């Protein structure tokens, strides 16, 4: 089991891109020259999936060898990038936990934030380390049975999250989250149909 | 780009920084096209290499794909020339430089690796040459972590090193463990890396073996789906059991070791009920127990893989396994129990004195599986 990244975004409706509020990622198991691309890709995928998660919805998207879990809690989006072995319930409890923590720290002020925060967030980084063990997160679920009240929507590919006529490739090209280098990497990986490496 | 020149430059780079531990083949190495965590600190300005082909920093080396292609073609030509014209036509240094490029780009090139072995054998300073081989194969693995030819070359070099060494080479073996672990992280289910690590474990002194056992436990807890990691753990435990009873490592009796393993697995299985790798692991220890791990575990242990019944398909399971009618039991769970039943029915359990403990063990396994299934069922009823 592995959590690669946790991100928190502000939902700006399904037409505008969400605002990045906090993110933490662990890319140590990628090659040195892929790490920054992977980080950028995580932000990009977070925005793409987050934008398409309606209020109070939970959805999970399979993307390459990852599962991207997303929860929109009253306009605050929490996302977890985990591998397939990570239990679904555990992942959503982690998201619940980090959203609660964020709300506690921000005390409602997040709704007025309009600019991206790309700085590292120590408590989120700590949470990333702590919840690598899903049973740590699941301790919470034993109490929070409400988790499964709303149904979790599962998507086999990221394309099924996108609106009709939208293509991931064109989103990649338009994205401001991805540097030229990352875009080249994305295309290369896609061309080689590589089993891995880049999100 | 001139391949032959670039080959020399690459050789110079690798020589001047022996700490380089990772190579990346990237589309372009220009500063704005190279995806880096921090802004690249430009290498020494009077650099001895082509800045459009290589980038070095932080002990990492990036090679532009165009440059790699040019070097690879040139290196193949050199190798071909050397092979057709006879062994003395090309200097050893040139051969090493050429094969170095070949194995970084394409580590499955056996001829290149074998050429290097021949050169190493006639080298005047074999120890120095061996460490160069270890560095190079680590670099090749950073590009292709599953390359069997590279792992095997590494074993060949190490075997030569370890056989001439008089004392246990703990630090060398520690490096092997670290490298194998890194490669297992880069590519999950990396069987090559784990079996290399198991090979290295054979050479370890007892204390180090114990540390290895502890480390593999931590790793396995975090990677419950990776059967290769768990398989490595099984091999380690067999290794411990095979050592003589007076050995420091087996100060705890074999029975206790198996018991500890079982105690460790129980909560894990409870949490990850559907993970077959864990069930395989548990089954293995149940079977060790049946066979009486005392005398000669390696001879009596029945490998789970060799049991044809264990691969019964899940559909048959629902037909014949009357215990769980109408309930979709995860396949691994079912097959773990079925094997236990088979063991007792077929009388393959070792007879006489051990029989009592085998039956006991069997009953315990059955009770455990039933318990897990019960909990799974009640969870399902709750709608979880």
Any CB–CB contact under 8 A between A182 and chain B?
Answer: yes
Q: Which residue of B has its CA nearest to A130?
A: B222
Strands in B174-249 per DSSP E: none
What's the rounded Cα separation, in Å, for the pair A29 and A34?
10
CA angle B10, B66, B14 (to 5 degrees): 15
pLDDT level of residue B191 (50, 70, 90 thresholds): very high
pLDDT digits (tens, 9 = 90+) for B50-60: 888 888 888 88
- Higher pLDDT: B190 or B378? It is B190
Yes or no, beta carbons of A182 and B35 under 8 Å apart: yes
Write down the ipTM of this complex. Answer: 0.81
CA dist., res. A47 & res. A62, Å (int): 15
Look up residue B286 and give its DSSP letter. H
Best residue of A2, A66, A85 to probe chain B, by most B CBs closer than 10 Å? A85
Task: Find the helix or strand (DSSP H, E) in which A81 lies.
Answer: strand A76-83
A187 touches chain B (CB under 8 A): no
Q: Which domains does chain A have, with CATH numbers?
A: 3-191 (3.30.450.50)
Contacts A–B by Cβ distance under 8 A? 70
Distance CA A8, CA A197 (A): 23
Per the CB < 8 Å rule, is B27 touching A188?
Answer: yes
pLDDT-based confidence at A192, cuts 50/70/90?
low
Q: Is A96 exposed, middle or buried (0-12, 13-18, 19+ CB in 10 A)?
A: buried
- Give the separation between CA B176 and CA B232, rounded to whole angstroms: 14
- Cross-chain Cβ contact A30/B384 below 8 Å: no
% chain B with pLDDT above 70: 73
Write the CA distances from B373 to A82, B131, B225, B333, integer angstroms.
27, 53, 20, 8
Provide the token pair at B91.
Answer: 């200097």
* CA–CA distance, B34 with B32 (Å, rounded to integer): 6
User: Chain A residue with minimal CA distance to B143?
Assistant: A31
Least confident among A46-50, B116-120, B374-378: B374-378
Mean pLDDT of A31-60: 89
Give the C-alpha separation, B331 to B277, whole Å. 12
pLDDT, chain A, mean = 82
**Confidence bin at B297 (pLDDT 50/70/90):** very low
């Amino acid at each position: 089991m592995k959590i690669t990244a946790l991100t928190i975004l502000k939902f700006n409706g399904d037409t505008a891109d969400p605002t990045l509020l906090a993110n933490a990622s662990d890319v140590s198991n990628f090659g040195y020259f892929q790490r920054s691309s992977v980080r950028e890709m995580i932000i990009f995928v977070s925005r793409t999936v987050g934008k398409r998660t309606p209020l109070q919805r939970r959805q999970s998207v399979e993307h390459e060898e990852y599962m991207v879990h997303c929860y929109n809690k009253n306009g605050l989006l929490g996302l977890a990038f985990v591998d397939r072995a990570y239990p679904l319930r555990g992942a959503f409890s982690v998201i619940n936990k980090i959203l609660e923590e964020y709300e506690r720290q921000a005390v409602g002020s997040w709704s007025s934030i309009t600019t991206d925060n790309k700085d590292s967030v120590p408590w989120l980084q700590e949470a990333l380390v702590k919840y690598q063990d899903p049973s740590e997160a699941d301790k919470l679920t034993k109490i929070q049975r409400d988790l499964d009240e709303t149904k979790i929507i599962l998507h086999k590919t990221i394309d099924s999250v996108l609106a009709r006529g939208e293509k991931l490739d064109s989103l990649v090209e338009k994205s401001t989250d991805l540097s030229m280098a990352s875009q080249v990497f994305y295309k290369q990986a896609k061309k080689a149909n590589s089993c891995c490496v880049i999100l | 780009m001139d391949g032959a020149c670039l080959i020399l430059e690459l050789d110079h780079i690798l020589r001047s920084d022996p700490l380089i531990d990772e190579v990346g083949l990237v589309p372009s190495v220009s500063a704005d096209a190279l995806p880096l965590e921090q802004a690249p600190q430009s290498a020494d300005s009077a650099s001895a290499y082509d800045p459009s082909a290589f980038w070095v920093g932080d002990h990492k080396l990036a090679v532009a794909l165009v440059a790699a292609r040019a070097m690879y073609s040139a290196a193949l030509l050199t190798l071909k020339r050397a092979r057709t014209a006879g062994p003395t036509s090309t200097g050893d240094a040139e051969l090493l430089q050429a094969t170095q490029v070949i194995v970084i780009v394409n580590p499955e090139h056996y001829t290149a690796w074998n050429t290097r072995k021949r050169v190493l054998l006639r080298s005047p300073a074999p120890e120095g040459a061996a460490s160069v081989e270890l560095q190079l194969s680590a670099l090749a693995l950073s590009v292709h972590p599953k390359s069997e030819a590279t792992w095997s070359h590494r074993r060949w070099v190490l075997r030569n090193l370890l056989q001439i060494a008089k004392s246990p080479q703990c630090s060398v073996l520690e490096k092997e463990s670290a490298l194998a672990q890194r490669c297992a992280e880069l590519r999950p289910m990396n069987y090559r890396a784990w079996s290399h690590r198991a090979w290295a474990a054979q050479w370890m002194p007892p204390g180090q073996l114990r540390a290895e056992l502890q480390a593999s436990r931590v790793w396995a807890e975090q990677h419950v789906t990776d059967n290769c990691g768990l398989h490595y753990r099984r091999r380690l435990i067999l290794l411990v059991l095979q050592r003589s009873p007076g050995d420091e490592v087996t100060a705890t009796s074999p029975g206790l070791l198996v018991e500890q393993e079982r105690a460790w697995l129980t909560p894990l299985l409870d949490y990850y009920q559907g993970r077959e790798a864990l069930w395989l692991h548990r089954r293995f220890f149940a079977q060790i127990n049946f066979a009486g791990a005392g005398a000669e575990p390696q001879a009596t242990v029945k490998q789970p893989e060799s049991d044809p019944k264990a691969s019964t398909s899940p559909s048959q399971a629902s037909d014949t396994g009357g215990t769980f009618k109408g309930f979709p039991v995860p396949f691994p769970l079912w097959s773990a129990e079925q094997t236990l039943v088979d063991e007792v029915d077929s009388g393959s359990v070792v007879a006489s004195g051990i029989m009592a403990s085998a039956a006991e063990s069997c009953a315990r396994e059955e009770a455990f599986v039933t318990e897990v299934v019960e909990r799974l069922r009640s969870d399902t009823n709750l709608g979880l």
